[in-house]
């Protein structure tokens, strides 16, 4: 069994990557730094008065199993980030496996329907999301949510 990596810096980086993507898309968003256990980013629309809580979950390795651990479902969206920093579970070299991050923007209602586990921590798998590629980099889902009145 491999020992657990300390990926706390990488998980913070994933939050900033998601935040940056939202801002580039013209979505006003702010990182929640402390005392917000259920979300990492708050997106807002000052014109409609709507806000949206976003939880960011990341995986470090390029060869992860497609699963993301999730504890709280008290938000409107999840951004699942595959950082793709190299292989951890196969024998390919790190340089061969490293590639740019992948992002999936998924409404929480969808993840509630497919989560695995009973109490406390759950896990969701990309393979359980029907037409998962339809959620790849779909920042517009958050923009549309913020526009609704």
Residue 17: Cβ-neighbour burial (10 angstroms; 0-12, 13-18, 19+): middle
What integer pLDDT is reported at residue 91 of this predicted model?
66
Which distant-in-sequence residues (6+ apart) come within 8 Å of 43 by Cβ?
A: 22, 27, 28, 29, 30, 51, 52, 54, 142, 146
CB 25 within 8 A of CB 137: no
Domain ranges of the chain: 8-147
Report how far residue 120's alpha carbon sits from residue 122's, in angstroms, rounded to the nearest whole number.
Answer: 7
Predicted confidence pLDDT, tens digits, the chain (149 residues): 456 677 788 889 999 999 999 999 999 999 998 778 899 999 999 999 999 999 999 888 878 888 888 988 999 999 999 888 877 766 665 566 778 999 999 999 999 998 888 777 889 999 999 999 999 999 999 999 999 86
| Maximum C-alpha span of the chain | 52
pTM, entire model? 0.89
What integer pLDDT is reported at residue 66 of this predicted model?
86
The DSSP bridge pattern shows strands 122-125 and 28-31 to be unpaired
- Domain 8-147 matching CATH 3.40.50.300: the answer reads no
What integer pLDDT is reported at residue 71 of this predicted model?
87
Helices (H), the chain: 8-24, 94-97, 108-114, 140-147
């Amino acid at each position: 069994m491999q020992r657990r990596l300390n990926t706390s810096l990488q998980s913070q980086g994933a939050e900033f990557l998601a935040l940056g993507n939202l801002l580039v898309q013209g979505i006003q968003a702010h990182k929640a730094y402390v005392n917000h256990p259920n979300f990492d980013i708050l997106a807002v629309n000052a014109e409609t008065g709507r806000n949206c809580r976003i939880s960011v979950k990341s995986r470090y390795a390029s060869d992860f199993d497609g699963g993301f651990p999730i504890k709280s479902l008290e938000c409107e969206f999840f951004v699942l980030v595959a950082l793709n920093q190299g292989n951890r579970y196969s024998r390919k070299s790190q340089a061969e496996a490293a590639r740019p991050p992948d992002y999936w923007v998924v409404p929480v209602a969808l993840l509630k329907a497919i989560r695995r586990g009973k109490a406390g921590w759950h896990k969701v798998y990309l393979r359980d999301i029907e037409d998962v590629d339809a959620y790849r980099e779909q920042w517009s889902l958050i923009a549309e949510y913020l526009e609704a009145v």
